[in-house]
């Protein structure tokens, strides 16, 4: 190991980490026969790896640590007092297979569980920094600030197709939050709560406050699952990374990730609302709403894109807003009207104008609170006050109600249309949409007194 080299590049954080690595040398790894060199000694780590860069999260802060391959010989493990959130292996070889593996659950490895025990590093040219002959193999979780693997122990396996070497790693992986399985209030279905971080109070059952927050998250998931008649969320993970203060989902996963500051600092009511929003994201993903042409066209209309605009073309063909269109301010009122901070009393969040996924999610969320539609229309001017001369309150209200109904019609047409969603029960959401149409039909546009006099 060359600590001076590491300190020059990565400062004090690197020094602390490297000292940790030194301290861990020889702690229980002597039995790892293949660590650092292949079983038949035909391939050594130094032959195929230049450096390994780790990203670790300690105390909520992510930091980068460089380790030279020569310092990892003889099976010495890499150790982090926090958890590993990213790995970059630098090599002069371009034909390696590099993976992160949970060696303590080999059955999962063999089964190829995509969410479980094995992560494949992929070649990333940008990470190589344009240096000729250098190749970088990279893995970062889809969710920023997540751990690369759940268990406390794993290994990085580097193979040239014939032989392999491995680097054992020790970090503080997921902690199951007690009670391990939280029951959803209505169905009693159990979902798993995990925590990644060092704050022992989060996974501990001691705090009543903490328990209320967990129950609020479960209640939010339960509300959505009951309304849509679908099992959407199997796992909730709280990440102690200070880089974000919100909650999110990842396409194809029945999971919600929640950042620890959000969990600690938001009220139980806000957490319930956030969990509802995220569970709805899972539903939107499963239904394939963002791939639906009619919903894409509707969203383009609401963004104010003209029939021949390039922004509309990009949105309808790719489902994504071009970056230049992000700043365009021709959004229909509906896009802010349905944001949770406007539609649901006392709540924060919602950014329906950002993309079709957020629009679909916040719209379905508003549908769960459809009884607020009429009074929210009355308060439209408070949501986004505009110059009186620009557009009348009457027109804004009527247009927003029409857009709301138009969106209900588009969702009715889109629901169940994606082949991927055929296994999903769609009757409950169709009922919700029909009910929304019926209720919204009973809401008259407010008659402006000035207009009434004219007639």
Q: Which of residues 93-132 bind Zn ion (CB under 5 A)?
A: none
Phi, psi of 54 (to 5 degrees): -110, 145
Shortest spacing between CB 223 and Zn ion, in angstroms: 16
Shortest spacing between CB 363 and Zn ion, in angstroms: 12
Q: Which of residues 390-449 bind Zn ion (CB under 5 A)?
A: none
Shortest spacing between CB 281 and Zn ion, in angstroms: 6
Considering beta carbons, is residue 175 or 266 the nearer one to Zn ion? 266
For residue 159, what are its two tokens? 């193979």
Q: Which of residues 131-160 bind Zn ion (CB under 5 A)?
A: none
Using an 8 Å Cβ cutoff, are 203 and 176 in contact? yes
Please enumerate in sequence order all residues whose Cβ is within 8 A of that of 252, keeping only pairs 6 or more positions apart, or say none.
285
Taking CA atoms, 402 is separated from 146, 332, 333, 371, 374, in Å, by: 42, 11, 11, 17, 13
Considering beta carbons, is residue 360 or 432 the nearer one to Zn ion? 360
- Helix, strand or coil for residue 191? strand
Q: Residue 379's closest CA among 404, 355, 345, 412?
A: 345
Shortest spacing between CB 302 and Zn ion, in angstroms: 17
Shortest spacing between CB 275 and Zn ion, in angstroms: 12
Shortest spacing between CB 237 and Zn ion, in angstroms: 17
Count interface residues toward Zn ion (CB under 5 A).
Answer: 1
Considering beta carbons, is residue 301 or 358 the nearer one to Zn ion? 358
Q: Which of residues 335-364 bind Zn ion (CB under 5 A)?
A: 358
Considering beta carbons, is residue 194 or 358 the nearer one to Zn ion? 358
Residue 411 burial by Cβ neighbours in a 10 Å radius (0-12, 13-18, 19+) = buried
Considering beta carbons, is residue 89 or 273 the nearer one to Zn ion? 273
Shortest spacing between CB 262 and Zn ion, in angstroms: 13
Q: Which helix (H) or strand (E) holds 395?
A: helix 393-414
**Degrees to nearest 5, angle at CA 176 with 172 and 180:** 175
For residue 304, what are its two tokens? 């104010």
Considering beta carbons, is residue 222 or 358 the nearer one to Zn ion? 358
- Helix, strand or coil for residue 229? coil
Shortest spacing between CB 311 and Zn ion, in angstroms: 22
Using an 8 Å Cβ cutoff, are 78 and 170 in contact? yes
Considering beta carbons, is residue 83 or 411 the nearer one to Zn ion? 411
Considering beta carbons, is residue 143 or 158 the nearer one to Zn ion? 143
Considering beta carbons, is residue 165 or 274 the nearer one to Zn ion? 274
How many other β-carbons are positioned within 10 Å of the β-carbon of residue 139?
Answer: 20
Question: Residue number with the shortest CB distance to Zn ion?
Answer: 358
Using an 8 Å Cβ cutoff, are 295 and 406 in contact? no
Shortest spacing between CB 252 and Zn ion, in angstroms: 16
Taking CA atoms, 113 is separated from 142, 156, 257, 341, 405, in Å, by: 16, 17, 20, 38, 42
Taking CA atoms, 107 is separated from 34, 113, 117, 121, 145, in Å, by: 19, 9, 9, 20, 27
Q: Which residues bind Zn ion (CB under 5 A)?
A: 358
């Amino acid at each position: 190991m060359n600590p001076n080299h590491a300190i020059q590049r990565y400062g004090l954080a690197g020094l602390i980490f490297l000292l940790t690595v030194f301290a861990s040398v020889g702690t229980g790894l002597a039995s790892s026969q293949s660590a650092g060199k292949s079983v038949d000694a035909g391939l050594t780590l130094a032959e195929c790896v230049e450096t390994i860069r780790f990203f670790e999260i300690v105390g909520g802060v992510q930091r980068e640590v460089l380790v030279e391959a020569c310092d990892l010989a003889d099976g010495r493990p890499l150790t982090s007092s926090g958890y590993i959130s990213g790995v970059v292996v630098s090599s002069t070889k371009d034909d390696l297979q590099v993976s992160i593996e949970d060696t303590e659950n080999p059955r999962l490895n063999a089964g190829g569980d995509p969410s479980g025990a094995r992560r494949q590093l992929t070649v990333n040219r940008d990470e190589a920094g344009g240096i000729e002959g250098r190749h970088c193999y990279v893995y970062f979780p889809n969710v920023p600030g997540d751990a690369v693997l759940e268990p406390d122990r794993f290994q990085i396996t580097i193979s040239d197709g014939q032989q392999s070497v491995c680097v054992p790693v020790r970090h503080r992986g997921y902690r199951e939050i007690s009670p391990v399985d939280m029951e959803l209030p209505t169905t009693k279905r159990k979902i798993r709560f995990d925590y990644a971080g060092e704050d022992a109070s989060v996974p501990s059952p001691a705090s009543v406050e903490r328990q209320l927050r967990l129950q609020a998250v479960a209640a939010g998931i339960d509300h959505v699952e009951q309304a849509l008649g679908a099992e959407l969320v199997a796992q909730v993970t709280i990440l102690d990374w200070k880089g974000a203060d919100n909650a999110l989902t990842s396409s194809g996963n029945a999971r919600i990730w929640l950042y620890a500051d959000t969990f600690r600092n938001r009220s139980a009511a806000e957490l319930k609302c956030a969990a509802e929003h995220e569970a709805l994201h899972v539903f939107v993903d499963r239904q394939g709403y963002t791939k639906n042409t009619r919903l894409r066209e509707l969203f383009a209309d609401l963004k104010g894109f003209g029939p021949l605009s390039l922004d509309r073309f990009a949105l309808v063909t790719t489902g994504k807003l071009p970056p230049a269109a992000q700043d365009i301010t021709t959004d229909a009122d509906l896009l802010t009207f349905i944001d949770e901070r406007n539609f649901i009393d006392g709540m924060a969040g919602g950014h329906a104008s950002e993309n079709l996924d957020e629009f679909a999610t916040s719209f379905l969320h508003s549908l769960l609170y459809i009884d607020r539609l009429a009074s929210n229309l009355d308060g439209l001017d408070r949501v986004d006050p505009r110059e009186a001369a620009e557009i009348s309150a009457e027109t804004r209200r009527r247009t927003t109600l029409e857009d709301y109904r138009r969106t209900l019609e588009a969702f009715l047409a889109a629901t169940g249309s994606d082949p991927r969603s055929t296994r999903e029960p769609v009757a409950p959401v169709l009922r919700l949409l029909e009910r929304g149409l019926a209720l919204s039909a009973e809401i008259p546009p407010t008659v402006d007194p000035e207009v009434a006099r004219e007639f």
